[in-house]
Structure 1
C-alpha cells in the first residue's frame, strides 16, 4: 500500500483544518464514524451472543462466543492485505474507502434485522468493507503531505485522535441501546454512524483533490484480466467449500471459526516464507526480516491477551462487577470506552517519553515492556477474579486499572512496532509491510479467540494468572535476547 502520492495529488489550497489541509477533516470524520460503528458493534457483540434467547440474544456458550469474537477481529485485520492490493492495483484508495464504507454500513444494517442469522451475515460484510476502508484511508492521509513534510506526523496524530474519539463515544451509545432496549437497535446505531461517515465523505470529496484518485501501481490489459479471473476462481472455490460444509452438515459456528483461524496462520507463514526466500532482497534486508519475525511473534502474543477486552473481560464486566451508581446500573459495554480515552490521554505522554529516551531504549526492549505490562494486567485480573469467587460483585475499578496497564503496554509496543515495520522493510516490500503488521493483530486475535475458550473451562483466577505470567515470562525472555535481535536488525534501532 503505497503512501507516496504523485505530483499534483495534493488537495486544493483553501480553508484548513487545525492548520492542515481541509481534506484531513473529511478523512478524520470518515475514520471517526467507521471506528464508531466498529467499536460500537464490537462492544456488544459477545454480550449479544451469550445473552439468553428470552433476553433477545443467541444463547451461544461463552467458549464459542469468545472464539467468534477473536476470529471476527482477526478477519478484519487479515482483509487489510487484499484491501490494500485492490486499491493499489485496481480502483485506487479513494474509491476503495467509499465502497468499503458502503459495505460496512450495509453489514451493520443487516445486523439490525432482528433474526438469528443476521449477525453472522452482517459481520461478513463488515469484514469485507473494513478491509477496503481501513488500510486505504491511512494511505490517503499520507497523500495529503509531501513525504518529508514536518506536518505529516502531526496530521497523523490528529487522524489518530479521530480513531479513538469514535471508539470512545460508540460503546456509550450502542451499549445503552443494545443492553437496555434491544440488541439489534444497538447494531442499528452503528449502521447510522457509518452512514454519516459515508455521506460526509461523499460531500467532502471536493476537498481531496487528486489524493487517492488513481491506483498506485495499476494492472492494465491482460494482467488486469488475469488478476480478475484469479479473484473469480478464488471466490468460486470459497463458495464451493462453504457449500460442501453446508451439505455435509459441518457448517457450524465452531467449524467456520476453526477454519478461519487456520487460514490466518497459514497466510502469515506463507507471507513470511515468500519474503525470506526472495532472492532479490539483500543479505542485510533478510537479516532485518529475521529480526522482524521475532517482533511479529511478540506483537501477536501481545494482541492475543489485549484484545480479550471485548470478550472475556467484557463478560466479566457484565456478570461479576457492581455497576450500580445512584440506583442506575450502567451497561457493561460502557467500560469499553475506558481504553480509548486512556489512549487519548497517554499517547502524547508516551511520545514525549520515547523522544526523551532516544536510542537508549531499543525497539526489542520496548516490545518487552509491552509484553510485561500486558501480562501484569492479567495478573491483576486474576486478583479481581479471585475477589469475585463465590458470586460477589467487585468494583469496576478493577477493570479500569487493568485497562490502564494494558494501554501503557500498547503505547510501548503498537506505535513502536508500526515505526519498526517501516524501518525494517525490504525495499521491494515497503508498501506491503504495513499489511504484514496488521497480520500480527490478526494472528493474535485468531489464536486468542481459541485460547479464550479456556476461560469457560478453567477457573477464572487460574486462566488469568496462567496467561498473565506467560506474557511476563515472554517479555523477560525478549529482554534477554535483545542483543541478538538488535544484531539482526543491522543498524536499525
Structure 2
C-alpha cells in the first residue's frame, strides 16, 4: 500500500470517539475482548481437562504429555497466523480474515463442548488453530491502519487495545474456569463458544461505521495467473501432507513425540524463511530492508520472553494445581483462577504504561530498550520461584503469594515488550507484507512455545531450582546484551524510535 493509500484509509476512519482515539478502536477492542474471553477461558481449563482422570470429566492423559500438547497447541495457534496473514494480504483483506477466523474459533469451542474422546478433542484444536491464525494477526493489523505513521497516539492505542485483550482474559478464567473445574468441563467450553459469538456480532454490527476502509482490501492482491498457479500448488500440498500423515500413522513413524519435535523445528525454520523472502523481495525498498534487519534481534528477544511468559498456562498452572496451598480461610480456590492474574495486572498497569509513553513523548526509551526491560523482568519472574522451591524443600505446599508475585513481575516485562512489539511491527513492516509481518510477530510466540514443548517435559518437583534458575538467568543475560546493542540496532531502524 502506498503512502497515499494509507492516508486515504486513515481519513476514512472517524478519528475521535473512543477515549480520544479513532472510533474503530471501539470495534476492535470489543471484538478482541470477546475472542480473548473465549480463548483464555478455554485455555484456563484445557490442561486440567487433558490430565484429569476420566472419572473427573477429563481425558486422562499423562501430565507431561498434556504439558507438551498445551505448548504445541499454543505454538500452532500462532504459527497458523502465517496462513491468516498471507490470505489477508493477498486474497480478501484483514477485515474478512477477522470475521472468518471468529467463525472457525466458535465452531472449535462448540466441538469442545460436546462430550467425546481424544479424536474429537484434536478436531476442535484444528478448528481453533485455523481460526486464531485468521483473526489474531489481522485484528492487530487493522488497529495499525487506524493511525498515520506520525500519530503519537499509536503506542497508546495499542496499549488500550492490549488492555481489552486482557480484560477478556481476566474475566474468562473466573467464569469459564470456575464452571469448567467445579461444574463440568464441557459447560465451560460452551461459555467460550458463546463469548466468540458475541464478538462476531460486535464486529459485524459496527465495522462499517467505525472502520471505514481499514482492512477492506488486500494490500498485495493476487492476479489471475497467480491465483490459478497457487490453487494448484495448495491442492498438491494438501494431498502430499495427507498422504504423509496417513503413511506416518500407519507405520507408527509419526508419533506424538516426533510431531512435537517437528513443530519445534518449524517454529524457527518458518520465520527464517519469512525474513529471507521479505528481505529479498523486489517489493521491499532499501529502507524497508534495513528495518527488517533491525527487526531480527527484536524477534529473537520476543521468542525468549514468550518462552517464559507462556509457561504461566503450563508449568505455573500445574504448580498452582499441585504445589500451591489452595485452602485459605475455609475457602478452596480453583487452580484455574490463577490464570486471571496475568490479565488482571495488565489491566491495572496498561493505562499507567500508556500514560507514561505519552508523557515521555520523544524522551521515552527506544523500542530495543523497552524489549531489553521486558527480558529482564521475565527472567526475574522465574528467579523469584527459586525461593519457595528452596524453602519448601520441594515437598510441602507453598503460599499462593509466590505465584502472584511471579505473575506480577512478568507482566511488567510484558507491558514493556508486547504492545510495543505490536506497534513496532506496524512501523517496521514492509508495505507489501504488512499483515504477513504481523503474522511474523506472532511467530515469535509460536517459536517460544515450540521451545517450551521440549523443555516442559524436563520439569519435575526435584528439578525446580535448576529449571527456574537456568531459564530465568538466561533471559536476564540476553536482556543485558540487547540493551548494550540498542545503539547499533537503532541505526538500522531508519528513523523509527
Please say whether Structure 1 and Structure 2 have the same fold, judged by a TM-score greater than 0.5: yes
Tell me by how many angstroms 1:359 deviates: 4.8
**SS of residue matched to 2:384:** helix
Q: Which of 400, 403, 406 matches 2:404?
A: 400
1:239 maps to 242
Q: Is 2:78–2:445's contact at 8 Å kept on the other side of the alignment? A: yes
1:329 aligns with 2:346: no
1:183 maps to 185
Q: Which of 131, 154, 174 matches 1:129?
A: 131
**SS of residue matched to 1:392:** coil
Cα distance in 2 for residues equivalent to 1:435 and 1:328: 43
2:63 maps to 62
Q: Is 2:144–2:423's contact at 8 Å kept on the other side of the alignment? A: no
Cα distance in 2 for residues equivalent to 1:476 and 1:7: 42
2:85 maps to 84
2:373 maps to 369
Q: Is 1:11–1:21's contact at 8 Å kept on the other side of the alignment? A: no
Cα distance in 2 for residues equivalent to 1:122 and 1:190: 13
1:26 maps to 27
1:294 aligns with 2:294: no
**SS of residue matched to 1:212:** coil
CA deviation map 1:230-265 (0-9, x unaligned): 222222222222212221124443333222222222
Indicate how the Cα distance of structure 1 residues 15 and 275 shifts in structure 2: closer, same or farther if over 3 A, else same.
closer
Indicate how the Cα distance of structure 1 residues 484 and 202 shifts in structure 2: closer, same or farther if over 3 A, else same.
closer
* TM-score calculated relative to the size of structure 2: 0.89
Indicate how the Cα distance of structure 1 residues 180 and 2 shifts in structure 2: closer, same or farther if over 3 A, else same.
farther
Tell me by how many angstroms 1:404 deviates: 0.9
Tell me by how many angstroms 1:367 deviates: 2.2
**Cα RMSD, aligned residues only:** 3.1
2:389 maps to 385
Cα distance in 2 for residues equivalent to 1:224 and 1:131: 21
Matches within 5 A, 1:297-446: 297-354=300-357, 355-356=359-360, 358-359=362-363, 361-426=365-430, 429-446=433-450
**SS of residue matched to 2:115:** coil
2:202 maps to 200
Tell me by how many angstroms 1:418 deviates: 3.2
Tell me by how many angstroms 1:321 deviates: 1.0
Q: Is 1:63–1:456's contact at 8 Å kept on the other side of the alignment? A: no
Indicate how the Cα distance of structure 1 residues 293 and 8 shifts in structure 2: closer, same or farther if over 3 A, else same.
closer
Q: Is 1:62–1:456's contact at 8 Å kept on the other side of the alignment? A: no
**SS of residue matched to 1:432:** helix
Tell me by how many angstroms 1:91 deviates: 2.1
Number of residue pairs matched by the alignment:
493
Cα distance in 1 for residues equivalent to 2:352 and 2:419: 13
Q: Is 2:141–2:434's contact at 8 Å kept on the other side of the alignment? A: no
Cα distance in 1 for residues equivalent to 2:288 and 2:139: 28
**SS of residue matched to 1:268:** helix
Q: Which of 461, 468, 484 matches 2:465?
A: 461
Q: Is 2:104–2:131's contact at 8 Å kept on the other side of the alignment? A: yes
Indicate how the Cα distance of structure 1 residues 476 and 201 shifts in structure 2: closer, same or farther if over 3 A, else same.
closer
1:93 maps to 94
Q: Is 1:26–1:201's contact at 8 Å kept on the other side of the alignment? A: yes
Tell me by how many angstroms 1:361 deviates: 3.8
Indicate how the Cα distance of structure 1 residues 52 and 276 shifts in structure 2: closer, same or farther if over 3 A, else same.
same
Indicate how the Cα distance of structure 1 residues 91 and 426 shifts in structure 2: closer, same or farther if over 3 A, else same.
closer
Tell me by how many angstroms 1:466 deviates: 1.6
What residue ranges of structure 2 are gaps of 5+ in the alignment? none
Indicate how the Cα distance of structure 1 residues 487 and 215 shifts in structure 2: closer, same or farther if over 3 A, else same.
closer
Cα distance in 2 for residues equivalent to 1:14 and 1:297: 34
Cα distance in 2 for residues equivalent to 1:37 and 1:6: 34
Tell me by how many angstroms 1:326 deviates: 3.6
1:253 maps to 256
Indicate how the Cα distance of structure 1 residues 196 and 364 shifts in structure 2: closer, same or farther if over 3 A, else same.
closer
Q: Is 2:138–2:438's contact at 8 Å kept on the other side of the alignment? A: no
1:273 maps to 276
Indicate how the Cα distance of structure 1 residues 152 and 412 shifts in structure 2: closer, same or farther if over 3 A, else same.
closer
Q: Which of 153, 161, 164 matches 1:162?
A: 164
**SS of residue matched to 2:385:** helix
Indicate how the Cα distance of structure 1 residues 430 and 126 shifts in structure 2: closer, same or farther if over 3 A, else same.
closer
* TM-score calculated relative to the size of structure 1: 0.89
CA deviation map 1:80-118 (0-9, x unaligned): 222122122222323222211111000011111222222
CA deviation map 1:383-416 (0-9, x unaligned): 2233343532211111110011101111222233
